[in-house]
């Protein structure tokens, strides 16, 4: 029995026709989650095609998360994520291990809850006064920038300023190599759209940036985690994974890494670049926390000069998440291509936000603001570490700066379960499984030191020891 219609004369390859057809049936619930799919042999016979074609199509559907392969049993439709309803009041403990819950619930209820698992700085720490002043000044200027689209690569004066800032970290570029984006997540999305096809292997940090994992999987990528040590990626494990999976890209957060707080060492950075050269790998370096580092730090982009590195950063963590101003930097030809992807998928970025950021950076607000932030974070980090160690927590490493501490406790091995209990008390924790590529179990918690001044967090752990 045929389940989809195939057309041998269609310009679309048969493999793509199968993938698209089965996806449509699953998305429209014509085939229910848990249903057994026809075997490769019967699908091929019923549709008059080769088994090899069906194998490739099924492999893609498995990689995209639509199907599961069960040893000795066949292929089944994967369970689909259930939509999470907005919470009217308190937390639902069972939702505490859900990444979507972490995103939605933490953002919707951030003003009324204890949030040591947050990924942002407190509003009171940010440059609200400077933003208001710059907004007033910007509102008095005439120009179509208030109502028109921006330019494809973004506001030129800001890109020129970023070019000079990149010189300060030893990266020499032309402004044409800089494309402004709506934050780092947008920058990485553009890279993923350009390079990744369904079934491609992509290396990521393990643990790492969980929103990235979901984005990559939405493109059908096979996400493969590279373990992180106190001095950066485990290069021996990385080489073994490259040999096994032959990935195209490695997305990595090198300075004040989220979630561990570690910073890559120069020897490890050199080794990562050697592996990229040896195996023809593109490195996407996320440097969103670099400005929080109190000293000079090693960057892949500096050592490589953007031969194999795509450098991404933003001001979302240090100035304003609402402005959504980020950027990517790479070789000229690739920058032009990624700018085209930007135009095709979202047109231009907000020139109002970009002009506002330019004013903040050029009027002296940012440097003074960073000095204050580093001091506040240093004090908060020392206090949080002392209190965690007093409770018996062990640190992955002692970060040189930034907002995150990665810690574990022998009494709290099941961090997902602990997070569920904490959610019932109105405390949002960030359990380690959330930061693993496939939410594998983890004994670690990520603590945001800027949000650890609430006694409720430590009382919760003290009562459960």
What share of the chain in percent tops pLDDT 70? 92
Question: For strand 404-408 and strand 232-233, is the pairing parallel, antiparallel, or unpaired?
Answer: unpaired
User: What is the CATH topology of the domain spanning 14-77?
Assistant: Arc Repressor Mutant, subunit A (1.10.10)
Contact by Cβ (8 Å): 103, 66: no
| Sheet bearing 282-286, strands edge to edge | 178-181, 326-329, 309-314, 282-286, 249-253, 201-206, 222-229, 232-233
Residue 55 tokens, joined: 């194998």
Q: Can you point out the beta strands (E) in 259-356?
A: 282-286, 309-314, 326-329
pLDDT digits (tens, 9 = 90+) for 19-77: 988 988 887 677 878 888 999 998 999 889 999 999 999 988 888 888 998 878 889 99
Domains 14-77 and 93-125+367-463 share a fold: no
pLDDT at 443 over 80: yes
Domain ranges, ordered by start, for the chain: 14-77, 93-125+367-463, 147-361
User: What's the confidence (pLDDT) of residue 97?
Assistant: 39
Q: H helices of 305-364, where?
A: 332-346, 351-362
| Separation between Cα atoms, residue 309 and residue 363, nearest integer Å | 31
Q: CA neighbours within 13 Å on the CB side: how many for 38? A: 18
- The pLDDT of 184-200, averaged and rounded, is 95
Q: Was domain 147-361 assigned CATH 2.60.40.10?
A: no
The tens digit of pLDDT for each residue in 241-270 reads: 999 999 999 999 999 999 999 999 999 999
Closest CA to 321 of 97, 122, 37, 145: 122
**Whose CA is closest to 135, among 406, 380, 409, 322?**
322
Stronger pLDDT, 60 or 336, i.e. the higher one: 336
Mean pLDDT value across the chain: 88
First vs last C-alpha separation in the chain: 59
DSSP 97: T
Q: Which residues of 167-198 are buried (b: 16+ CB within 10 A; e: fewer)?
A: eeeebebebebbbbbbbbbbbbbbbbeebbeb
pTM over 0.85: no
Fold (CATH) for 93-125+367-463: 3.90.1150
In angstroms and rounded to an integer, the radius of gyration of the C-alpha atoms of the chain is: 24
């Amino acid at each position: 029995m045929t389940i989809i219609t195939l057309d041998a004369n269609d310009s679309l390859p048969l493999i793509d026709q199968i993938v698209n057809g089965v996806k449509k049936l699953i998305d429209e619930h014509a085939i229910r989650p848990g249903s057994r799919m026809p075997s490769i042999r019967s699908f091929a016979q019923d549709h008059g095609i080769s088994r090899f074609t069906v194998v490739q199509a099924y492999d893609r559907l498995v990689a995209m998360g639509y199907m599961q392969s069960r040893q000795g049993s066949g292929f089944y439709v994967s369970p689909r994520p259930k939509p999470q309803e907005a919470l009217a009041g308190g937390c639902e403990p069972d939702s505490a291990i859900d990444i979507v819950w972490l995103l939605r619930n933490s953002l919707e209820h951030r003003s009324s809850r204890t949030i040591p698992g947050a990924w942002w700085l407190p509003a009171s720490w940010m440059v609200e006064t400077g933003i208001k002043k710059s907004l007033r000044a910007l509102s008095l200027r005439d120009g179509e920038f208030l109502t028109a689209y921006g330019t494809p690569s973004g506001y030129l004066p800001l890109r020129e300023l970023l070019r000079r800032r990149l010189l300060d970290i030893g990266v020499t570029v032309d402004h044409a190599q800089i494309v402004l984006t709506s934050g780092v997540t947008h920058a990485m999305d553009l890279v993923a759209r350009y390079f990744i096809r369904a079934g491609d292997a992509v290396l990521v940090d393990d643990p790492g940036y969980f929103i990235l994992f979901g984005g990559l999987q939405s493109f059908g990528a096979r996400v493969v985690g590279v373990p992180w040590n106190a001095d950066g990626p485990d290069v021996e494990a990385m080489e073994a994974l490259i040999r096994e999976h032959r990935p195209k890209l490695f997305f990595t957060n090198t300075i004040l890494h989220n979630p561990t707080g570690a910073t890559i060492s120069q020897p490890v950075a050199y080794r990562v670049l050697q592996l990229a050269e040896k195996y023809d790998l593109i490195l996407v370096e996320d440097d969103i926390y670099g400005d929080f580092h109190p000293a000079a730090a090693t960057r892949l982009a500096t050592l490589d000069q953007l031969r194999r590195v795509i450098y991404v950063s933003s001001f979302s963590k240090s100035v304003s998440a609402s402005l959504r101003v980020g950027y990517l930097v790479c070789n000229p030809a690739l920058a032009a291509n990624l700018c085209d992807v930007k135009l095709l998928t979202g047109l231009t970025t907000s020139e109002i936000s970009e002009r506002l950021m330019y004013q903040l950076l050029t009027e002296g607000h940012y440097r003074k603001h960073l000095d204050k932030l580093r001091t506040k974070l240093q004090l908060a980090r020392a206090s949080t570490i002392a209190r965690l160690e007093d409770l018996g927590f062990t640190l992955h490493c002692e970060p040189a700066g930034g907002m995150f501490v990665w810690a574990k406790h022998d009494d709290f091995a099941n961090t997902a379960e602990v997070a569920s209990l904490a959610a019932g008390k109105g405390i949002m924790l960030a359990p380690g499984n959330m930061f693993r590529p496939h939410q594998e179990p983890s004994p670690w918690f990520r603590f945001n030191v800027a949000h650890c001044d609430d006694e409720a967090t430590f009382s919760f752990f003290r009562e459960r020891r």
